[in-house]
Amino acid sequence: MRTLCLLVLVGLGAPALGQEAAQAPQPAAAPVDEIIVPGRRPENLRVEIERLEGVVYERWNALNSKDEFDIQCLEMEPTGSNITQRTCAPKFVIQAESRATQDAVRGRSRGDSFTGEAAQIMAQKSRELTEEMQRVAREDEQFLRDLVRLDELKQLQATEGQQRRVSR
C-alpha cells in the first residue's frame, strides 16, 4: 500500500504538475532557493534522491492542510535482511497498516490488508492527497520545482536500474 501512495505522490502527481507548470505563464523573477541544472546526473543518485525527498516532504508537511497527509519516512530492515530500506508514506497509510496488522494479530482479519470498505477509504484518501498536492504545487513554486526534480531523478534511477538488468 505504501508503494501505491508513493506512486500516487511522485508517479502521478509530479508529471501532471510539471505539465501545469509548463503551460502556466511564468511570473516575474522570484527569489530562487536552489538552482538546478537539468540533464546532469548527480554523483550519487540515491543520496540525492533521499536528500530531495527530505526537502520535498518537509515542505509538504508544513504546507498541506491535513496532518493525516503529512509524510513520514522510516528506515527499517525487512524481515530476513540486514539491508536497511527507506520507506516514505502519508500518516493515514501508516495508521491504516498499523490497524490492519493489529487486527490480524488479534485474529479479526483474514490477513488481507485493505479489502472492501478499507480499500475504498484508502482510495478516497489517496485521491484527496493528490488533489491537495496539486493545490499546494499551484500555490508554491519551490515545492513544484523540487517535486518535479524528484520525479526526474526517480525516473533516471529506474531507467538506470532497467539498463543494468538488461546488460546482465
Strand partners, 71: 90
pLDDT at residue number 124: 96
Q: pLDDT tens digit string along 12-29? A: 455 555 555 555 555 555
80 sits in the region (left: phi over 0; alpha: psi -120 to 50; else beta) called left
Nearest in space to 147 (alpha carbons), one of 157, 160, 134, 159: 134
Q: pLDDT tens digit string along 92-139? A: 999 988 888 888 888 766 555 556 788 899 999 999 999 999 999 999
In whole angstroms, give the CA distance from residue 84 to residue 86: 7
The answer to pTM > 0.75 is no
Sequence ranges of the domains in the chain:
2-17+54-157
